[in-house]
A = this chain, B = another copy of it.
């Protein structure tokens, strides 16, 4: 099949065109690539060959220049790329710059500025509440329905899909233990999330309103917020998660532009509590995204979390994150929080899937309460697109190795 033709219904057809950064075998030189089927287009080289002005945004070692360029440029570049891979005259010119995915190395596609992680799934938050505070009158904390709870994570340990994850060591202490012990985590978990990538910065002291979301956010990707539950449980009172999370956060090599996901926009769940004006999205365009996530361990699907069930939208999270005047920078990344649907088979963490280890999963290669060394965790997802053709998100995968 000629390289520009993708199979009917391919979720990475010309309707998608996610962005990444790649290098050729044996080369240190990184450049922006655009995925088409199982190929990657060297977008900078193609732009140069066509004399396109976008070469200055695409012939670069990270996506940051493109991210910073803003929504008009994002749309223009996407329109150009679509033409390059679909119009025969352009195809002929750019064909030499289309490479099989199997022949290239994919890299972290942008320089991460600040990384924030939210906690926006009501199902997830209630499951966690039931597991850790079984006697509480409400499984949600009192603030949960009033603001999207979030915290800052470690941007220096955000890694690209495919990077091995070393099992972290740290302190843990069971309630009955007299003192903490040190060693490799024995409750290593995943959290299936969606990450949002900020392109256009904002000024300190100037909040970004709900309707500023599409001006500031370029796109999204799958994100695995690896979590050491035992380390987290002992450390997190009173200042929140730290070493239980900071050892690694994996993101997909492909950033899907919001423009590819127009058909996937959906209204978020009905709000059960009145919202303060800066978060009230009742008069806004639909802020949710219908992303169908799949979580697999060693190739065996263990969960299918639906992103459309998230209570807080990415636009609300952005408005909240900046309402105190905090500025945005190009490359800021924020995670949605674990995506868990209402059904047991839709939970986005082993903590929930195994009810804190009480009900281990039965996998073809044995039981799993939490992850074992050698386990490979893969998140994948798709969204509804035009005429029933799915829009694929780039997978995020990682193998657990012993420390």
Interface residues of A (CB under 8 A from B): 113-114, 116, 119, 141-143, 146-147, 149-157, 159, 166, 168-171, 173, 179-180, 182, 204-205, 207, 228, 231, 234-244, 246-248, 274, 276-278, 320-321, 323-329, 332, 403
Once bound together, how far apart are the Cα atoms of A323 and B234, in whole Å?
15
Judge whether B240 and A236 touch: CB under 8 Å. yes
Judge whether B182 and A332 touch: CB under 8 Å. no
From B141, B149, B240, B325, A151 is in contact (CB under 8 Å) with B240
Judge whether B113 and A155 touch: CB under 8 Å. yes
Known contacts A114-B155, A240-B240, A276-B180; A169 and B323 CB within 8 A of each other: yes
Judge whether A147 and B166 touch: CB under 8 Å. no
Nearest CB of B to A172, in Å: 11
Once bound together, how far apart are the Cα atoms of A156 and B182, in whole Å?
33
Known contacts A180-B146, A182-B276, A246-B152; A239 and B119 CB within 8 A of each other: yes
Residues of B within 8 A of A170 (CB): 323-324
From B171, B204, B238, B328, A248 is in contact (CB under 8 Å) with B204
Which of chain B's residues has its CB closest to A163's CB?
Answer: B204
Q: So how many copies of this chain end up in the complex?
A: 2
Nearest CB of B to A170, in Å: 5
Nearest CB of B to A138, in Å: 13
Which of chain B's residues has its CB closest to A167's CB?
Answer: B325
Judge whether A154 and B204 touch: CB under 8 Å. no
Which of chain B's residues has its CB closest to A152's CB?
Answer: B152
Residues of B within 8 A of A152 (CB): 151-154, 242, 246
Known contacts A243-B326, A327-B157; A235 and B143 CB within 8 A of each other: yes
Once bound together, how far apart are the Cα atoms of A72 and B179, in whole Å?
40
